[in-house]
C-alpha cells in the first residue's frame, strides 16, 4: 500500500511541477495577504494572541485554496478512473494525504518565514512553536484531504470547500491558535501539553475515520 501511495504522491508532485495549478495560486495568495497585513500594521506591534490568530487565518485560507486540487483536478479532467483502475482506495487516499501534508508544510514554512520578516515576530519558544505548527499542519491536511475527496463530486466546489472544512477544523484551529500564542510567549511544554494532546488525538481520529470512509466516497 505504501509503495502505491508513494507512486501516486510522486505523480502528483510531477504533475504540479508541470502544471503549477496549486503552487501559482498559493504563492499569489500568500504574497497578497502578507502584503495587506504589512500595509495594515505599518510599524505597529500586535500582541502574541493576535499574531497567532492572524497566522492561522492565513494558513487556513491558503490551504483552502491549494489542497482541494488533489481530487478536484482528477475529477475535472476525468483522470480519477486511471487511479481507480490502478490502485485500491486506501493507497489513493494515503498518496493524496502524503502529497497534501508535504504541500502544507512547504506553504506554511513560507507563510511563517514571510510573516516573521514583515512583522518582526519574536518567538520565544521556537521548538514548541515548530511542534505546534507541525502537528496543526498534519491535522489540517488530514481534514482538507477527506473534504477535498467529498467536494470533488459536487458542482460548486470552490464555495463548499471552506464552508465544509471550517466547522470540522474549528476544534483543531482553536487548540492550534492557543498553543501557538503560548509558544510565542515562551511557555514551557507542560503549559500547552493539553492543547498538543488534543491536536494529536484529533489528527489520529480524522485520519482513521478518513481511511474507513474514503472507499465509499471514492467508489460511487
Partner 1 sequence: MPSETSQAKQNTGILLQAVDLSRKFDRRPIFKNVNFELRPASATAITGRNGSGKSTLIKIIANLLIQSSGKIDLYDGDTKVKKEAVYKYIGFVSPYLNLYDEFTGYENLKIVSDIRGYGHGNIDNVLKRVGLFNRKDDILKIYSSGMKQRLKIAFAILHDPQILLLDEPTSNLDLEGISVVDSIANEFKKDRILIIATNDPHERSLCDREININPDA
Instruction: From residue 172, give the alpha-carbon distance in Å to each of 56, 71, 85, 167, 180.
Output: 11, 23, 35, 10, 12
Residue placing its CB nearer to partner 1 in the complex, 46 or 217 = 217
Stretch that binds partner 1, among 37-45, 75-83, 150-158, 163-171 (CB under 8 A): 75-83
Binding of partner 1 by 25 (CB under 8 A): no
Count the alpha carbons within 13 Å of 20 in the hemisphere toward its beta carbon.
4
Instruction: From residue 15, give the alpha-carbon distance in Å to each of 32, 72, 73, 74, 115.
Output: 25, 14, 11, 11, 29
Smallest separation, CB 142 to partner 1 (Å): 21
Smallest separation, CB 21 to partner 1 (Å): 10
Contact 211, 156 (CB under 8 A): no
Binding of partner 1 by 78 (CB under 8 A): yes
**Binding pattern to partner 1, positions 91-130, x when CB under 8 A?**
x---------------------------------------
Cell for 168?
Answer: 470540522
Smallest separation, CB 54 to partner 1 (Å): 36
Q: Could you tell me which of 172, 216, 154 has the C-alpha nearest to residue 63? A: 172
Smallest separation, CB 82 to partner 1 (Å): 6
Radius of gyration from C-alpha coordinates of the chain: 18
Cα–Cα distance, 106 to 109 (Å, whole number): 5
Residue placing its CB nearer to partner 1 in the complex, 60 or 218 = 218
Binding of partner 1 by 155 (CB under 8 A): no
Q: Could you tell me which of 155, 154, 152, 141 has the C-alpha nearest to residue 62? A: 141
Cα–Cα distance, 153 to 186 (Å, whole number): 44
From the list 34, 58, 70, 83, which residue makes contact with partner 1 (rule: CB under 8 A)? 83
Residue placing its CB nearer to partner 1 in the complex, 49 or 88 = 88
Q: Which spans of this chain sit near partner 1 (rule: CB under 8 A)? A: 3-4, 7-8, 10-11, 14-15, 18-19, 77-79, 81-91, 215, 219-220
Amino acid at each position: 500500500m505504501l509503495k502505491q501511495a508513494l507512486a501516486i504522491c510522486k505523480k502528483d508532485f510531477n504533475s504540479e511541477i508541470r502544471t503549477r495549478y496549486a503552487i501559482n495560486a498559493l504563492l499569489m495568495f500568500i504574497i497578497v495577504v502578507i502584503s495587506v497585513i504589512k500595509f495594515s500594521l505599518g510599524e505597529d506591534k500586535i500582541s502574541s494572541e493576535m499574531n497567532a490568530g492572524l497566522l492561522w487565518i492565513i494558513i487556513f485560507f491558503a490551504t483552502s485554496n491549494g489542497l482541494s486540487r488533489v481530487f478536484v483536478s482528477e475529477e475535472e479532467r476525468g483522470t480519477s478512473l486511471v487511479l481507480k483502475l490502478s490502485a485500491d482506495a486506501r493507497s489513493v487516499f494515503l498518496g493524496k494525504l502524503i502529497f497534501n501534508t508535504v504541500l502544507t508544510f512547504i506553504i506554511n514554512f513560507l507563510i511563517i518565514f514571510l510573516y516573521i520578516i514583515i512583522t518582526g515576530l519574536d518567538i520565544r519558544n521556537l521548538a514548541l512553536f515548530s511542534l505546534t505548527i507541525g502537528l496543526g499542519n498534519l491535522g489540517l491536511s488530514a481534514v482538507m484531504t477527506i473534504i477535498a475527496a467529498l467536494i470533488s463530486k459536487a458542482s460548486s466546489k470552490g464555495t463548499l470547500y471552506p464552508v465544509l472544512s471550517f466547522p470540522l477544523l474549528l476544534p483543531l484551529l482553536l487548540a492550534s491558535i492557543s498553543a501557538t500564542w503560548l509558544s510565542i510567549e515562551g511557555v514551557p511544554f507542560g503549559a500547552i501539553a493539553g492543547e498538543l494532546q488534543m491536536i494529536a488525538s484529533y489528527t489520529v481520529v480524522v485520519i482513521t475515520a478518513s481511511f474507513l470512509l474514503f472507499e465509499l466516497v471514492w467508489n460511487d
